[in-house]
Chains A and B, each alone.
Chain A
Amino acid sequence: MSTLEIDRVRKSYGIHEVLKEVSISIGTGDFLVLLGPSGCGKSTLLNMIAGLDSITGGEIRIAGKVVNDLSPKDRDIAMVFQSYALYPTMTVRQNIEFGMKIRGITPPERDKAVRTAADLLQMSHLLDRKPSQLSGGQRQRVAMGRAIVRQPKLFLFDEPLSNLDAKLRVDMRTEIKRLHARLGTTIVYVTHDQIEAMTLATRVAVMKDGVVQQLDEPQVVYDRPANVYVAKFVGSPSMNIIPGVLEVQGTVVSAVVDIAKRGSARISGVAVSPETARKYAGKRVLVGIRPENFSIAAGDIRPTLTVDVDVVEPTGPDTLVVFHCSGAEVTARLPPKQASAGREAALCVDTSKVVIFDADTENRID
């Protein structure tokens, strides 16, 4: 059993409040990703879970036990750092053994644990090297090995992949995923990279200015972002946010947007509850459409909107098509060679995936 409950936790340095009443709760085996830009408080929160930073208010419970006043070593956690934090004067083996030595584990047991971890991470041949003789990816493995031998209730990762190059980052990501699958330990993982969050997490907490914006499964966060901020932060290219007006005609709810020089276009059948629709009828809203929810109007299907294509960016599997709508720049992900710059394009929208936000609060309305 290794649950983590973060209960109305606050952190402030003097008058400067870094975390404002954060509450997160995850179950055993969960992979929680704290996602947000730098300065959002995610690393502070992680350090507080680890016991490296003090808690100003609220409670943190690991496996049901309040750990607020426990020192890091008594919290039964392990942590992997962005800079790996390998002890530079010790060999890989000594690095991994260091914590066990302090806990007074006998040499044979230590040796066994090191072996197991080394096999798991395929680094048995590196054990007698110094950190300075290792590549970035190898150091990352050692750092993870050091965490694994601890057999903690909770793994903490602080942006572990951000010092690696792009290729290695993808490989290590898979490695971490595999590790999680094999060990089944609860993990808290801090990153600013939304792809890592999507690929790794079972739960994502998107943070901004010390406040959790949304805490949910990654797919939910992606499909139903809680607000414009989350919508824009998750996904690449990010969700298009187009100003528009909500129209209600009977049971059909539509979002009306402007298209330059061509008048208005109507996106009909937006999934909004009748009460909300009544409340927002005729009001200004923000319409959120993911790029992949556009498609080319083919055959006799009537296009939702016809636009003048501004720029075309082929990525290989898809082509990104950029145009303007209600003054906002909009990107659509289309199959290759279906549109070209300066020409017009007739597009359909998967209205079931369209998300509507309040124009003022920028929160999602259902």
Chain B
Amino acid sequence: MRSTLSMRDRLTHWLPRLVLSPSLVAVFIGVYLFIAWTGWISLSSSKMVPKYDFVGLEQYIRLWATPRWETAVVNLFLFTVLFLAITIAIGLLIAILLDQRVRAEGFLRAVYLYPMALSFIVTGTAWKWILNPDLGVEKVVNDLGWSGFVFDWITRPDTAIYCVVIAAVWQSTGFAMAIFLAGLRGIDTSIIKAAQIEGAGLPRIYMSIIVPMLRPAFLSVIVLLSYISIKSFDLVLALTNAGPGNATEMPSTFMFSATFRRNQMGVGAASAMMMLMTVAAIIVPYLYSELRESRNEH
């Protein structure tokens, strides 16, 4: 029976796969083959240029014996938790406030959204000044008369990471806001009316009814923000250059300096693999749920 298929029909049958195949090849090479290459290098003794020998897990042992890497891991954890929590909180707050039929919503939305358009190569210097106690906020407030005001986080190793969080929150809230706002607009307003008739106040309605309904938006925001935080590279370089005293080192900056500045390509590759595994630990379950969902749709 199959033989009755005409050439054209057979082409139609294979066409989608054919059209998709260049992407498949590109992604296979650009992502998976290159990851495999990095994995290999992480098991080699490569220093300055790639060397294709095998030394087992030596580079990983060296990596975990490096205090800077430990700092980087702790920072990443601290940064991710704070960054996610604050960005989500502020993003949600702005979205809810904007959803109250305010004037000039378009303008305000643009204000909150524009940082996303800029790279930290562009805004890093401005933030450096704002956070610098001698030039920025502290000075301005002191000049206004509150001489006791101190805001010197960026100068102190134990607090500098919070400055990175501030700048990162600044850049990403717009995104969280946009997604939450989209979610809020999709919610049936009769739910709010129903709750009002039951006598619930607006804050309570949002806390116990609306916010839980935004669950899918939360999921999207969390995944995308985790991705931003793991990749935060420009941000740290531009703002603190991993200082003071490597206090704001992150895995991405560590990897960069190990590979390109310190001739420790093997260690750099090992750190890259650690980052990839972390990403996979977050992303794979998300992908799994996403894809299972779509299978159900069919």
Show the binding face of A for B, using Cβ within 8 Å: 68-69, 71
Which residues of the other chain, A, contact B1 by a CB distance below 8 angstroms?
A: 68-69
* CA–CA, A68 and B4, complex, Å: 9
Contact between chains at A71 and B12 (CB < 8 Å): yes
Query: Which of chain A's residues has its CB closest to B4's CB?
Result: A69
B5 within 8 A of A: yes
Is B198 an interface position by the 8 A CB rule? no
User: Distance (Å) between the CB of B149 and the closest chain A CB?
Assistant: 56
Query: What residues of B have a CB within 8 angstroms of the CB of A68 in the complex?
Result: 1, 4
- Prevailing SS type, chain B contact patch: helix
B9 CB within 8 Å of chain A = yes
Q: Give 8 nearest A-B pairs by CB, closest first.
A: A69-B4, A69-B5, A71-B9, A68-B1, A69-B1, A71-B12, A69-B9, A68-B4
Interchain CA distance A69-B1 in the complex, whole Å = 8
A-B contact pairs, 9 of them (CB 8 A): A68-B1, A68-B4, A69-B1, A69-B2, A69-B4, A69-B5, A69-B9, A71-B9, A71-B12
Distance from A118 Cβ to chain B, minimum over Cβ atoms (Å): 32
> Which residues of B does A touch, CB under 8 Å?
1-2, 4-5, 9, 12
**Residues from chain B with Cβ under 8 Å of A71 in the complex:** 9, 12
Give the Cβ gap from A303 to chain B, nearest Cβ, in Å: 52
Closest Cβ of chain A: how far from B297's Cβ, in Å? 15
B188–chain A nearest beta-carbon distance, Å: 19
- Which residues in A have their C-beta under 8 angstroms from that of B2? 69
Query: 6 other contacts beyond A69-B4, A71-B9, A71-B12, with CB at 8 A cut-off?
Result: A68-B1, A68-B4, A69-B1, A69-B2, A69-B5, A69-B9
Within the assembled complex, what's the spacing in Å between the Cα atoms of A68 and B5?
Answer: 10
State A143–B265 Cα separation when bound (angstroms): 64
Report the bound CA distance from A68 to B2 in whole Å.
10
Provide the residues of chain A in CB contact with B9, threshold 8 Å: 69, 71
Q: Which residues of chain B are near A69, meaning CB under 8 Å?
A: 1-2, 4-5, 9
Q: Bound complex: CA of A69 vs CA of B9, how far in Å?
A: 9
A58 to chain B, nearest CB (A): 11
**Residue in A closest to B298 when the chains form the complex, CB atoms:** A13
Min CB–CB distance B235 → chain A (angstroms): 41
Bound complex: CA of A252 vs CA of B2, how far in Å? 60
Q: Which residues of A contact B4 (CB under 8 A)?
A: 68-69
**Minimum Cβ distance to chain B for residue A52 (Å):** 13
The docked-state distance in angstroms from the alpha carbon of A327 to that of B4 is 59
The residue on B at minimum CB distance from A71 is B9
Give, as a whole number of angstroms, the nearest-CB distance from B74 to chain A: 49
Q: Measured between C-beta atoms, what is the minimum distance from B117 to chain A in Å?
A: 29
Give chain A nearest CB distance to B288 CB in angstroms.
21
Residues of A within 8 A of B12 (CB): 71
Kindly list chain A residues whose C-beta atoms are within 8 Å of the C-beta of B5: 69
CA distance A71 to B2 in the complex (A): 13
**CA A71 to CA B12, docked complex, whole Å:** 10
Cα separation A71 to B9 with both chains bound (whole Å): 7
Q: How many angstroms between the C-alpha atoms of A250 and B9 in the bound complex?
A: 67
